């Protein structure tokens, strides 16, 4: 389904009339969450695949939302309608998980969880992945639902040794944790379900790292790096780190398309 082709359900003032400044989709495109930095509100929309439209579900206003930066994420939405949001506070932690269907905060049963989370993202099995670059750890939480409540249970942890708060972090819908270590020009790829390192990729120090893109099946990773005149595109396998292709381009923007008809850039 093409998310760009969706129509928005007509609803008066979903963010109290303010513009939408951030948008995220759930891993399997069942929900979209929008945020307005102006009134600090988050709106949940359900996706109707038959009518190619978004339908308003609910809105929550949170005064101390952390709107994020280039090295962190602000909020994420799951396929079950949960939204995890970063907050401007440290006690008891700098985020909360909201059930937008009931407008309630979910209970966390997570020992030794670092209070300062920099990145958070739901993946396609319903788990919530959180990274603390200051604590050099990645946490995976899983929801345990009862008839009237849900609590998030600690599932696993990954030690991110030698990581830095300046490293670029990526969490993919199918459960890969990828970060670019700027100090060594190295890309590490973890499988969050097996907790194993799948690939380590060393980049050329002579180029400036630009961006990363993935194929729809997450089997390929495209890495854009630039020199003074050209942009270089490297295609690697995410399962073994093998360099499959290298090309030179004048453009400096990259995206992966047409998975089932052969990957295109």
pLDDT for residue 34: 94
- Tell me the C-alpha distance between 121 and 84, whole Å: 8
Taking the domains of the chain in order of start, what are their residue ranges?
3-202, 205-265
Number of Cα atoms under 13 Å in the Cβ half of residue 120: 26
Q: Per-residue pLDDT for 8 more than 70?
A: no
Handedness of CA 9, 13, 16, 21 (dihedral sign): positive
The mean pLDDT value for 170-177 works out to: 94
Strands 75-77 and 82-86: antiparallel
Among 11-15, 93-97, 192-196, 235-239, the range scoring the smallest mean pLDDT is 11-15
The mean pLDDT value for 159-180 works out to: 88
Q: 3-state DSSP call for residue 261?
A: helix
pLDDT for residue 259: 44
Whether 178 contacts 191, CB under 8 Å:
no
Structure-model confidence comparison of residues 25 and 115, the more confident one = 25
Token output for 255: 């995206």
The mean pLDDT value for 167-195 works out to: 90
Among 21-25, 187-191, 247-251, the range scoring the smallest mean pLDDT is 247-251
The mean pLDDT value for 107-113 works out to: 77
Task: Give tens-digit pLDDT for 129-142.
Answer: 999 988 889 999 99
Q: Per-residue pLDDT for 45 more than 90?
A: yes
Task: Give tens-digit pLDDT for 202-254.
Answer: 888 777 888 888 888 899 998 888 877 788 888 999 988 899 988 887 755 55
Handedness of CA 88, 108, 60, 176 (dihedral sign): positive
Query: What's the whole-model pTM score?
Result: 0.85
CATH of 3-202, one of 2.130.10.10, 3.30.750.24, 1.10.3210.10, 2.40.128.50: 2.130.10.10
């Amino acid at each position: 389904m093409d998310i760009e082709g969706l129509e928005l359900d007509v609803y008066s003032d979903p963010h109290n009339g303010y513009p939408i400044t951030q948008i995220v989709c759930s891993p399997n495109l069942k929900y979209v969450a929008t945020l307005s930095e102006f009134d600090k509100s988050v709106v949940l929309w359900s996706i109707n695949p038959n009518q190619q439209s978004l339908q308003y579900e609910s809105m929550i206003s949170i005064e101390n939302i952390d709107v994020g930066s280039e090295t962190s994420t602000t909020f994420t939405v799951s396929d079950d309608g949960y939204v995890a949001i970063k907050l401007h506070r440290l006690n008891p932690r700098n985020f909360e998980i909201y059930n937008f269907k009931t407008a309630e905060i979910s209970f966390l049963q997570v020992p030794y969880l670092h209070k300062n989370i920099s990145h958070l993202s739901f993946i396609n099995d319903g788990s919530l992945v959180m990274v603390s670059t200051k604590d050099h750890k990645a946490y995976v939480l899983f929801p345990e639902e009862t008839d009237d409540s849900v609590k998030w249970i600690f599932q696993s942890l990954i030690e991110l040794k030698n990581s830095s708060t300046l490293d670029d972090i990526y969490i993919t819908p199918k459960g890969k944790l990828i970060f670019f270590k700027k100090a060594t020009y190295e890309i590490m790829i973890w499988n969050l379900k097996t907790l194993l390192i799948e690939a380590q990729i060393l980049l050329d120090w002579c180029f400036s790292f630009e961006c990363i893109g993935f194929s729809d099946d997450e089997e390929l990773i495209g890495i854009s790096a630039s020199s003074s005149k050209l942009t270089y595109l490297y295609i690697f396998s995410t399962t073994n780190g093998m360099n499959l292709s290298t090309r030179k381009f004048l453009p400096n923007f990259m995206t992966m398309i047409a998975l089932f008809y052969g990957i295109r850039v």
